[in-house]
Amino acid sequence: MTFDITEIRTKFPALSQEIDGKQPIFLDNPAGTQVPQQVIDAVVHYFSRINANQGGVFATSKATDHMLYEARQIVRDLFIAYRPEEIVFGPSMTALNFNLSRAIAKTLPSDSELVVTRMDHDANIAPWLTIAEDNNWTVRWVDFAPELGTLDMASLDNVVNEKTKVVAAVHASNALGTINPVKKIAEVAHSVGAYFVMDAVQSAPHVPIDVQEIGCDFLLCSAYKFFGPHIGIMWGKYDLLESLPAYKVRPSKDTTPYRWENGTLSFETIAATAEAIQYLESLRGNNPEPIEGYGGRQLHLKQAFTALQAYETELAEQLITGLQAINGVTLAGVTDLDKLDERVATVTFVKDGHTPQSIVEVLAQHQIFAWAGHYYALEVMNRLGREDDGMVRVGAVHYNTKNEIDTFLNVINDL
């Protein structure tokens, strides 16, 4: 499939706006993507036609219940989950992970150990550090190779032992773009009976995810990173979601997923999340190749991500080769062009003689949007020796064009 970028971009109102006479170039995507019109329409439709709390006997409440059921089905298909009841919605990935960590903590013995990685966003580190501090547990760290940008799997083997109860690791790094061997991580965790909690925030917009194939016990992500609204999602194996002591108010249902969804949900953003996934499904194009083992929406999404990945790999190569050709630029992460399947199109760099903040300020003058700093990947920047100023981060997604990448590279070259 060849992406029709012109057609795709018409679906995103933000991409056609002008700021000071220029169309903005959104390379801030790792911090949050733009949304297609159908996602915006879903919010409007919910408030205009459905708006009510769940569980009532009247029409709009029943419509909300139906929307919730359908949304869970759609998210289930995105992650190839076992059943829709395993899909939990919440205010953010971070909030959901704090709830999950507290619930798990109540079940663990006094000599427990937890494993986290230096590649993770703090949303999959701080919750585990917090319960470890609360219970005087040991936290062991998995390192990564700074010169390669890849997780040190030998260090994972070294820190996991019979006392390990949780292994928390990221699928794709929000700072380095690295895609980690999560299936192997799951196997290591399960070899000692530990849970594997996977942060899929940065992988969900870029790669197909099959929780059954990966073998993780919990997955957490954010819909606003995959062209949806600001809402968090947690998937967990049904028996675990049913058995763990979820923190909840007494009148709420004690069945999954309701026992994990504290308070009234953001129904309008749940409706919009379902539309974001249906938008992704539409990227499969006409007459895509069949993929054995998948059917229905799950097949369509798998086909869409296959096409999406192929195009984004081209953008990643353009970013990496273009930046490497500029004097004084240093990149972090996987730069071997033969290993682009091991990363997403998120690229971090610094340039001699310029602070990361000054670079993004110059980019902003050209209406090119990017971030500087640590982006909550504190351990990554510490490990790279960039704890003071961090690095510049740009991230391409499937609505970005090669012309946009060229424009960005020209600005960096002219600094």
pLDDT of residue 102: 98
Digit-coded pLDDT (tens) for 403-413: 999 999 999 99
Mean pLDDT score of the chain? 97
pLDDT confidence band for 2 (50 / 70 / 90):
low
- What is the DSSP secondary-structure string of 319-340? HHHHHHTSTTEEEES---GGGG
Question: pLDDT above 90 covers what percent of the chain?
Answer: 97
Alpha-helical (H) ranges within 211-355 are 211-214, 238-243, 267-282, 296-324
pLDDT of residue 1: 52
pLDDT of residue 289: 86
Digit-coded pLDDT (tens) for 88-134: 999 999 999 999 999 999 999 999 999 999 999 999 999 999 999 99
The stretch 193-210 carries a mean pLDDT of 98
Digit-coded pLDDT (tens) for 21-42: 999 999 999 999 999 999 999 9
The amino acid at 344: V
* Opening angle at CA 399, ends 394 and 402, nearest 5: 70
pLDDT of residue 285: 82
Q: How far is CA 315 from CA 69, 198, 208, 215, in A?
A: 37, 26, 18, 30
CA-based nearest residue to 43, from 259, 243, 273: 273
Strands, DSSP E only, in 162-262? 164-170, 195-199, 218-222, 232-236
Using the predicted structure, report yes or no on whether residue 287 has a pLDDT greater than 80. no
Cβ neighbour number for residue 109 with a 10 Å cutoff: 9
The stretch 44-54 carries a mean pLDDT of 98
Cβ neighbour number for residue 312 with a 10 Å cutoff: 24
Cα–Cα dist 93/86, whole Å? 15
pLDDT of residue 55: 96
Tokens for 188? 């290591």
Give, for 26, the enclosing helix (H) or strand (E): strand 25-26
pLDDT of residue 78: 98
Cβ neighbour number for residue 194 with a 10 Å cutoff: 24
pLDDT of residue 27: 98
DSSP state of 180: P
Digit-coded pLDDT (tens) for 57-81: 999 999 999 999 999 999 999 999 9
Digit-coded pLDDT (tens) for 288-342: 888 988 999 999 999 999 999 999 999 999 999 999 999 999 999 999 999 999 9
Give residue for tokens 């299936």. Answer: 183
Digit-coded pLDDT (tens) for 126-152: 999 999 999 999 999 999 999 999 999
Q: Are 304 and 387 in contact (CB under 8 A)?
A: no
pLDDT of residue 275: 98
Cα–Cα dist 280/333, whole Å? 27
pLDDT of residue 266: 98
pLDDT of residue 3: 76
CA R_g for the chain: 21
Beta strands 113-117 and 138-142, pairing class: parallel
pTM check: above 0.95: yes
CA-based nearest residue to 119, from 183, 224, 199: 199
